[in-house]
Structure 1
Amino acid sequence: MHSWQWHTWEGLPYLTCSILESWPHGFFTQQCWPRLPQALTLALHPQAIVYRLKQVHGNTVLTPPEVDDDLTINSSNLAQADGLISTEPSQAVWVASADCTPVLIGDVKTGHVAALHAGWRGTAAQIVPVAVQRMQSQGSKIESLRVALGPAIAGEVYQVTEEVAIEVCRSIISQNTTNNIVDSLHSLPDSPLFADPEPGKVRLDVRRVNTLQLQGLGFSLEQIAIAPYCTYQHSEHFFSYRRLQEKKVQWSGIVSCRL
């Protein structure tokens, strides 16, 4: 069982997970707002080079050299993508979230890391499998990867339409199912769907979908940790767009290292 620990930096609370103990990392809280990764990296590794993105709810995953090239070509402040994968030690990669799932990955053999923003759209587009495949192209092996799914809106309180649930969950059900897709999803072991009293609506556990996608790639549950915190329900620590309807975020980051 993986444990989650609270820490403070300059009096500000943040979370870490034992599954990523080999890397400086943190899932920061609303109390850290409006500090940006450039400042928050000081809590993890003051010498690290900081990378963040303009997130667009897709499945594009970039490396720091690709980010640098993008900024040179487009002369913009931030590259547009939803995932970052390190290529060298001492690279701090960051994502922002309010109800979407922040995903941090580390490779216990290479020291490489990834930070991903996996909302329902990114999960439907399989951003986590895309990132894993990119890490494999850099020499990672499935059995060497460790994944922490950070604080996000919990399935019990995340109401979506059945159409959204089907779009998100297509990657985890048989493509030749002849049953009603929603019924098929409800019948899965550890289903990511919960019933909702409103017709045409269900409750969706996006982190569970990400977990099932990882298992489909060959990950064991021992390689995956899920934070026991809901951004919607734990209002003392986290912003929730569903709860507040405000564009405020918390940041999650991890620093690559030599192992």
Structure 2
Amino acid sequence: MTTWQWQTWQGKPYLTCSLLDPFSHGFFTRQFRPDTPRELVRVLDAEATAYRTQQVHGRAIARTCHLEPLASETVANLQPADGILTHPDGNTKESVWVCSADCTPVLIADVRRGCVSAIHAGWRGTAAKIVPEAIAAFREGGSLHEDLRVALGPAISGDLYQVSSDVAVRVGRSIVAVRDDTSDDEILQQVSTLPDSPVLPDSEPGKVRLDVRQAIRLQLERLNISPEQIAVSSDCTYQQSDRFFSYRRTGEKKVQWSGIVSQGS
């Protein structure tokens, strides 16, 4: 049975998921601010090399073999991408990192090959299928679907995340089969009638509530990733102000980090 467990490091809490065992990983909390990946990596594996990118709400997946290890936190020097995949044939351990406030941090591990990925998935990235893009990158490197484990970390809960109907339509197009002439209302209807739909009603005209983590889960299941290979945290960044920053709650651009370490050779 998959479990989410709170760990502590020097009295500060971070979250782990048993589905990703034995990979060193963590979904970190606001208590670790202002630590950066170069500093946080020592919590997971002090010998691992840290990598991050400049997140731009896109679907690009960067590979560590094309990146420089973190030498500073100057964003201008970072490659634009919202996902990072480790080099499967590396001789050293690599840690990959993404930051989030209300967006979904996704950590993926290949239990056979030892490579890992960290993904930042907001509604824009989810509509652009960034997580399926990461799965395709794993497959291109030789991974098999059955060897992948996917953990979706703390994010804003769907019942609290109000978005425009247009946003829900864009995400819905990534989940259900539609034609070019399918209307927005038809797409919303299709998505709303799905079991465990990611689209929830809202009392305000032209608005709905959107569960991004549920949308990602449905994308994965449509790629034949079984439910047993997917874990979804119930932790909400908006509600749990004692542990997480939330841009929707405060409007402040403060984030928490999530990272995972490859097994290396």
TM-score w.r.t. length of structure 2:
0.93
- 1:83-98 equivalences in 2 (<5 Å): 83-87=83-87, 88=90, 89-98=92-101
2:157 to 151, 154, 157: 154
Deviations 1:2-46 (A, max 9, x none): 101111111111000000011000000001011101111100000
Give secondary structure in 1 for the equivalent of 2:19. Answer: helix
1:26 match: 26
Once residues 24 and 134 of structure 2 are traced to their aligned partners in structure 1, the CA distance between those partners, rounded to angstroms, is 20
1:110 to 107, 110, 113: 113
Contact 2:53 2:80 in 1 (8 A): yes
1:202 match: 208
2:244 match: 238
Code of the residue aligned with 2:100 in structure 1: it is: S
Give secondary structure in 2 for the equivalent of 1:114. Answer: strand
Q: CA RMSD in A?
A: 1.7
Q: Quote how far apart the aligned CAs of 1:185 are.
A: 1.3
Code of the residue aligned with 2:261 in structure 1: it is: V
Displacement over 4 Å in runs of 4+? none
Bigger mean CA offset, 2-11 vs 173-182: 173-182
Once residues 180 and 197 of structure 1 are traced to their aligned partners in structure 2, the CA distance between those partners, rounded to angstroms, is 20
Once residues 122 and 172 of structure 2 are traced to their aligned partners in structure 1, the CA distance between those partners, rounded to angstroms, is 13
Deviations 1:137-188 (A, max 9, x none): 1110000000000000110000000000000120111213576221221111
Residue 196 (structure 2) pairs with residue 190 (structure 1): yes
Identity %: 54
TM-score w.r.t. length of structure 1:
0.95
Deviations 1:169-210 (A, max 9, x none): 201112135762212211111111111000000000000110
Code of the residue aligned with 1:62 in structure 2: it is: A
Give secondary structure in 2 for the equivalent of 1:146. Answer: strand
Give secondary structure in 1 for the equivalent of 2:77. Answer: coil
Give secondary structure in 2 for the equivalent of 1:160. Answer: strand
Residue 141 (structure 2) pairs with residue 138 (structure 1): yes
Deviations 1:93-122 (A, max 9, x none): 000000000000000100100000000000
Contact 2:163 2:210 in 1 (8 A): yes
1:3 match: 3
Contact 2:65 2:86 in 1 (8 A): no
1:212 to 209, 218, 226: 218
Segments of 5+ residues of structure 1 without an aligned counterpart are none
Once residues 40 and 222 of structure 2 are traced to their aligned partners in structure 1, the CA distance between those partners, rounded to angstroms, is 34
Q: Quote how far apart the aligned CAs of 1:77 are.
A: 2.2
Contact 2:51 2:68 in 1 (8 A): no
State the aligned residue count. Answer: 255
Contact 2:178 2:187 in 1 (8 A): no
Once residues 157 and 10 of structure 2 are traced to their aligned partners in structure 1, the CA distance between those partners, rounded to angstroms, is 29
- 1:57-136 equivalences in 2 (<5 Å): 57-68=57-68, 76-87=76-87, 88=90, 89-136=92-139
